[in-house]
A and B are shown apart, each in its own frame.
Chain A
């Protein structure tokens, strides 16, 4: 396009201004209006159970401390204050998409039961968040399986190790395992009385080591 009236610099300038005008009329890129997620893949994933993580597995991950993930408690702030999974942050469904969570973060959602979590999961996945999981059973599952697991009193030899591990995990988070003997569960105290013990887990927080996979490294200038 040989144009004798404009020098190459002037042509560059005009091109820049045209791009600027297009930008003026285009959409906001931070709102990600053009994110394309394949609906078929989304349907398949919503049916798969691989998005669920068992409370005991999460507990083990927290103790090992070599993975970096964000635990999101979707319940309302009162319940969050009363007690939650260690390291969990509290986000309502409204705030979920406000940009605090990054698309490449490992996110684990939890709520009262799994309904809230599933809805949040779908919302995040539809915006192309890559790594979203759900704590199976929510906080109730955490309480029942990690903090206050039921351990049978009479155990076969090979089962002893497994339940010993469960007991250790429970104690680590400040819970107390309850023994079951002959089908009769020894009554455990109600959740209300356990408050002090349940606050303690928040302090014994396992912080990820600095060389942890995915932990943000210094990126300044």
Chain B
């Protein structure tokens, strides 16, 4: 069994090691301050906070509208993310998430951390890991919409503004994750 798991390792392609040697992660407090300043910038310039799940909702709603327009416009949830004029993808969060993609890449590039691989613990197979990623993502998407935001939007933004609901949400997220941590230890440890 051990043999199978080891040979299943996806090749780690680190193509730019010569140019950008791999560096350790930043001091978490500095990264946190940087993140906080970005959030503050959003508050001061735009009067709103960050987000991620909203952009994904817009993409889902737009896709549904393309395939089944009447169904989408009749649905209370999708309606929120569609507009009657202009391109619904010209949305603040969509552009922001595109920026996240670029920003993450830039940081990873300069720190030599661009690797095509699958993050997982040693005691689980790739296939299972990807399955869990899909399930985890689905739960995330569902829960985020029920709660009205994800960790970036609600926890960070609402947390900084001392929003009651956001703090309750944040505590629930940590509680939920800790609750199941023991049962999923094989995935990670």
Chain B residues whose CB sits within 8 angstroms of the CB of A210 once the complex forms:
83-85
Nearest residue (CB) in A for B86 is: A211
- With A211-B85, A211-B86 in contact, is A218–B80 under 8 Å at CB? yes
B140-182, CB under 8 A of A: which get 1 and which 0? 0000100011101110010000000000000000000000000
- With A210-B83, A210-B84, A211-B85 in contact, is A221–B152 under 8 Å at CB? yes
Q: Which of A12, A217, A220, A221 contacts B29 (CB 8 A)?
A: A12
Chain A residues with CB under 8 Å of chain B are 8-9, 12, 210-211, 217-221
- Where chain B touches its partner, the secondary structure class is loop
- Where chain A touches its partner, the secondary structure class is loop
Chain B residues whose CB sits within 8 angstroms of the CB of A221 once the complex forms:
49-54, 93, 144, 148-150, 152-154, 157
- With A220-B51, A221-B153 in contact, is A9–B148 under 8 Å at CB? no
Chain B residues whose CB sits within 8 angstroms of the CB of A218 once the complex forms:
54, 80-81
Q: What 18 additional pairs, Cβ within 8 angstroms, besides A211-B84, A221-B93, A221-B157?
A: A8-B27, A9-B29, A210-B85, A211-B83, A211-B85, A218-B54, A218-B81, A219-B48, A219-B92, A220-B54, A220-B148, A220-B153, A221-B49, A221-B53, A221-B54, A221-B148, A221-B149, A221-B150
**CA of A218 to CA of B53 in the docked complex: distance in angstroms?**
13
Q: A43 → chain B, closest Cβ, in Å?
A: 30
Chain B residues whose CB sits within 8 angstroms of the CB of A220 once the complex forms:
51, 54, 148-149, 153
| 6 A-B pairs with C-beta separation under 8 A | A210-B85, A218-B54, A220-B148, A221-B53, A221-B93, A221-B157
Pairs of residues from A and B, 7 with the lowest C-beta to C-beta distance, nearest first = A221-B153, A221-B149, A221-B51, A219-B48, A221-B54, A12-B29, A211-B85
**CA of A218 to CA of B48 in the docked complex: distance in angstroms?**
11
Chain B residues with CB under 8 Å of chain A are 27, 29, 33, 48-54, 80-81, 83-86, 92-93, 144, 148-150, 152-154, 157
Nearest residue (CB) in B for A9 is: B29
Q: A6 → chain B, closest Cβ, in Å?
A: 13
Chain A residues whose CB sits within 8 angstroms of the CB of B54 once the complex forms:
218, 220-221
**CA of A218 to CA of B52 in the docked complex: distance in angstroms?**
14
Q: B140 → chain A, closest Cβ, in Å?
A: 13
**CA of A218 to CA of B154 in the docked complex: distance in angstroms?**
15
Nearest residue (CB) in B for A217 is: B92
Q: A154 → chain B, closest Cβ, in Å?
A: 46
Chain A residues whose CB sits within 8 angstroms of the CB of B92 once the complex forms:
217, 219
Q: A26 → chain B, closest Cβ, in Å?
A: 15
Chain B residues whose CB sits within 8 angstroms of the CB of A12 once the complex forms:
29, 33
Q: B45 → chain A, closest Cβ, in Å?
A: 13
**CA of A45 to CA of B148 in the docked complex: distance in angstroms?**
43
**CA of A217 to CA of B93 in the docked complex: distance in angstroms?**
12
Chain A residues whose CB sits within 8 angstroms of the CB of B27 once the complex forms:
8-9
Nearest residue (CB) in B for A210 is: B84
**CA of A211 to CA of B90 in the docked complex: distance in angstroms?**
13
**CA of A149 to CA of B175 in the docked complex: distance in angstroms?**
67
Chain B residues whose CB sits within 8 angstroms of the CB of A211 once the complex forms:
83-86
**CA of A38 to CA of B147 in the docked complex: distance in angstroms?**
44
**CA of A207 to CA of B81 in the docked complex: distance in angstroms?**
20
Q: A210 → chain B, closest Cβ, in Å?
A: 6
**CA of A219 to CA of B148 in the docked complex: distance in angstroms?**
11
Chain A residues whose CB sits within 8 angstroms of the CB of B83 once the complex forms:
210-211
Q: A2 → chain B, closest Cβ, in Å?
A: 18
**CA of A217 to CA of B85 in the docked complex: distance in angstroms?**
13
Chain A residues whose CB sits within 8 angstroms of the CB of B149 once the complex forms:
220-221
Which one of A211, A220, A221 has the highest number of Cβ atoms from chain B below 10 Å of its Cβ?
A221
